[in-house]
C-alpha cells in the first residue's frame, strides 16, 4: 500500500480530461483542490455537458474540439466509456504532444490496451489506469473532489512503459488520496469481473426479473422492497452505456465468473430443495467471514 | 397506506417478547419509547442473552422460562428464527392467557401458519406479522427503537381471525412508526421471495464464489472490493440461522424466483457472448427505471 504524499508542486502542467461525467468531473475537482495540475482542460462530446462544465467552473478551459483540447497537454486522461476509447484515441493521436502521458479510467484493461495501445504515437507514454471509485450517479454535477480518497486506483502499464510516466500517473492519484497498485491487465480484468462486473450483472438482472413479474406483483415489489432489493437497485442505477461497454469488453472473465456463480447458485438451490440445512448455513457463514475480512481491511 | 396514530394509551398491558435479537430488542425499545406496552417481558433461550438484556435494561422483566414469561401476557410476540417457532409454540400453548394475542415477526408466513397455527388454543388470537426492517447486525445490542419507522409491516391473519386482534397488532406496529398492510400468506411469501430472499441468496452465493477462487485472487477480491461487491457483502453479513430457516421455509417461492432469475442471467450471458449491445443496454435501463420508482415511493 502506497502512502499518499503531502501536497506539493503540480504533477502535470496541463491536464486534459476527455469525458466529463462522474469520474472526469471528480478528477477536475480533485486536481484543482489538490493543485495536482497547473491547468485543467475539459472536453466532452456533448455540447450540453460542455456548457454545464463551464457553468460549474470546475475547469480552467472548456474546449469541445478534442484535437484542440489535447494540444500542449502533458497529461491526457480518457474518462469515457470503454467502448468509446478507440475512436477518440484515433482522433487525438496526431495532436498529442511529444513526451505527453496518455492515461484512462476505464473499467476493463485488456480492451483498452487492445483498442488504444496501437494508436499511441512514439514518444507518448501510455499508462492505463482504473480508479475503483464511483457512485450510482452520472454527469458533471455528480462528481466531487473526495471521490478517490482512501480508494484503490489500479495502474496497468504495458510492458516497457517509461518508469517516470508510471510514477507521475501514480502520483496524480495519490495526490487525490487514492492508494495505487500496479497490476497486469489480465489479472485486473479477472479481479474486476468478480468484485464489480458480476455484482452489477446480477443487480441489473434481478431488476429485470422483478420487472417481468405480473403487474400486480411488480407494484408490490416496489412497495415492499426490503433492504436486500434496495441495495441491488442502488447498484443497478448506474450508467447504461458505461455498463454495456464494460460487459462487452470484459466478456471472457465475466462469463467465467458468471458460470462459476451459476454453478454455486444451483448447488444452493439443490440444498434448499432437499433441505440440506448444514450446506445452507455454511454458505451464509462464509458470506459473514468475507464481510468481516472487508471490515478488517477497512474497505467496508 | 396507514397513517401512524399519535401516541396514546398502551396497546397491550403486558407484552412478552420471545427471542431478543435485532428485532426482539428493537421491539422492546420501541414499545418502551412509545408507551405501546405497559409492561415488557423479555425471554430468550440463551442465558447470555438474558443476562445482557437485563444489563441493557430494555425490558421490565427478564424471564428465561418461556412458560412463565407468557403467563398473563395479553400479547406474545415470537421473535425467533422461523425454524424455531413450532417448538416454542408447543411449549407455550397451554400457558397462554385466554383472549391473548399471539403474533410473530417471521420472514416466511405459510410455514408459520402451518407450524404454529394448529397449536394455538381456542380463545387465543393468532395474528402473524412481518416487519420489513432489519440490518446486517444481530443480537440484543444491535436493536434500536426507530428500526421500524417509515417501513412496512405486513400482517397476515388466518381467515376468520378476530378483527379486534388484527387491529391491535396493526396499532402496535403503527405506534412504532411502521406502515401496515394486511396480506394473504401465499402472496406474502412470493413478494418476499423476490424482494428479499432471492437477493440474500445471491449475496451469500457470490461471497462463496469469491471465497472459492485461488488464494492469491481471493486476497485481491478483498483488497479491491469495489462498491458492487461491498454492497453484496453487507447483505451477506446477516444471521446464518435466520437465513437458513427462511430459505428452507420459503422453498417453493424462492426456487421459482431463482429459476426465473437464472433464465434471465443466462439470457444476459448469451447477449454478452454474442455482443448484443441493445439487449444489455435495455436491461441496464430497466434497472434504472425500477430504482427511480423506488425513490418515487420513498423506499430508497
Gap between the Cα atoms of B59 and B206, Å rounded? 39
Q: CB–CB of B280 and A247 under 8 A? A: yes
B206: nearest CB among A198, A227, A244: A198
- Contact with chain B for residue A179, Cβ under 8 A: no
The three state secondary structure string of A118-142 is HHCCCCCEECCEEECCCCCCCCCCC
- Between residues A288 and B3, which one has the greater pLDDT? A288
Section B122-138 average pLDDT: 93
* pLDDT band (50, 70, 90) for residue B226: low
What three-state secondary structure class fits A254?
helix
Q: How many CA atoms lie within 13 A of B68 on its CB side?
A: 9
Query: What pLDDT digit, counting tens, does each position of B264-296 carry?
Result: 999 999 999 999 999 999 988 888 887 777 767
The DSSP annotation for A170-233 comes to HHHHHHTT-EEEE--HHHHHHHHIIIIIHHHHHHHHHHHHHHHS-HHHHHHHHHT--HHHHHHH
Report whether B125 contacts B160 (CB < 8 A).
no
Query: What order do you get walking across the sheet with A179-182 strand by strand?
Result: A129-131, A152-155, A179-182
Number of residues in chain B: 300
- A residues 258-297 near B, CB within 8 Å? 258-262, 264-266, 268-269, 272-273, 275, 277, 280-281, 283-294, 297
Q: Could you give the ipTM of this predicted complex?
A: 0.88
Instruction: List the one residue out of A225, A251, A211 whose CA is nearest residue B283.
Output: A211
User: Rounded to 5 degrees, what are φ and ψ at A75?
Assistant: -145, 130
Query: What pLDDT digit, counting tens, does each position of A119-163 carry?
Result: 999 999 999 999 999 888 889 999 999 999 999 999 999 999 999
A180 pairs with which residues across the strands?
A153
Query: What pLDDT digit, counting tens, does each position of B15-42 carry?
Result: 999 999 999 999 999 999 999 999 999 9
**Per-residue pLDDT, B214:** 58
Q: What percent of chain A has pLDDT over 70?
A: 92
Instruction: List the one residue out of B123, B134, B125, B127 whose CA is nearest residue B112.
Output: B127
The yes-or-no verdict on residue A182 having pLDDT over 80 is yes
Give ranges for CATH 1.10.3660.10 in chain A.
Answer: 187-296
- Contact with chain A for residue B299, Cβ under 8 A: yes
- Contact with chain B for residue A134, Cβ under 8 A: yes
Give ranges for CATH 3.40.50.720 in chain A.
Answer: 12-183
In CATH, what is the architecture of A12-183?
3-Layer(aba) Sandwich (3.40)
Fold topology of A187-296? 6-phosphogluconate dehydrogenase C-terminal fold (1.10.3660)
Report whether A290 contacts B211 (CB < 8 A).
yes
Report whether B100 contacts B43 (CB < 8 A).
no
For residue B203, the chain A residue with the least C-alpha distance is A287
The torsion of the CA quartet A278, A281, A285, A288, rounded to 10 degrees, works out to 170
Gap between the Cα atoms of B230 and A299, Å rounded? 8
Section A214-229 average pLDDT: 67
Amino acid at each position: 500500500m502506497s502512502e499518499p504524499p503531502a501536497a506539493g508542486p503540480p504533477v502535470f502542467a496541463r491536464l486534459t480530461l476527455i469525458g466529463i461525467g462522474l469520474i472526469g468531473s471528480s478528477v477536475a475537482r480533485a486536481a484543482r483542490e489538490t493543485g495536482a495540475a497547473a491547468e485543467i482542460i475539459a472536453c466532452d462530446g456533448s455540447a450540453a455537458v460542455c456548457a454545464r462544465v463551464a457553468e460549474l467552473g470546475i475547469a480552467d478551459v472548456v474546449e469541445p474540439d478534442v484535437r484542440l483540447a489535447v494540444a500542449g497537454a502533458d497529461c491526457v486522461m480518457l474518462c469515457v466509456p470503454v467502448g468509446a476509447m478507440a475512436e477518440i484515441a484515433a482522433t487525438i493521436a496526431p495532436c498529442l504532444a511529444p513526451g505527453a502521458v496518455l492515461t484512462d479510467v476505464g473499467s476493463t484493461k485488456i480492451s483498452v490496451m487492445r483498442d488504444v495501445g496501437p494508436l499511441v504515437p512514439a514518444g507518448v507514454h501510455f499508462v492505463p489506469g482504473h480508479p475503483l471509485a464511483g457512485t450510482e450517479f452520472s454527469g458533471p454535477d455528480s462528481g466531487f473532489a473526495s471521490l478517490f480518497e482512501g480508494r484503490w486506483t489500479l495502474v496497468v502499464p504495458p510492458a516497457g512503459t517509461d518508469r517516470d510516466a508510471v510514477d507521475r500517473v501514480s502520483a496524480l492519484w495519490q495526490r487525490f488520496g487514492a492508494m495505487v497498485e500496479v497490476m497486469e491487465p489480465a489479472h485486473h480484468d479477472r479481479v474486476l469481473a468478480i468484485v464489480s462486473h458480476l455484482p452489477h450483472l446480477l443487480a441489473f438482472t434481478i431488476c429485470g426479473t422483478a420487472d417481468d413479474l405480473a403487474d400486480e406483483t411488480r407494484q408490490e415489489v416496489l412497495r415492499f422492497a426490503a433492504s436486500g432489493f434496495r441495495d441491488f437497485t442502488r447498484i443497478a442505477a448506474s450508467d447504461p452505456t458505461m455498463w454495456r461497454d464494460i460487459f462487452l469488453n470484459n466478456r471472457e472473465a465475466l462469463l467465467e465468473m458468471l458460470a462459476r456463480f451459476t454453478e454455486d447458485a444451483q448447488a444452493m438451490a439443490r440444498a434448499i430443495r432437499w433441505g440440506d440445512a448444514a450446506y445452507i448455513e455454511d454458505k451464509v457463514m462464509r458470506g459473514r467471514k468475507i464481510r468481516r475480512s472487508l471490515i478488517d481491511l477497512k474497505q467496508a
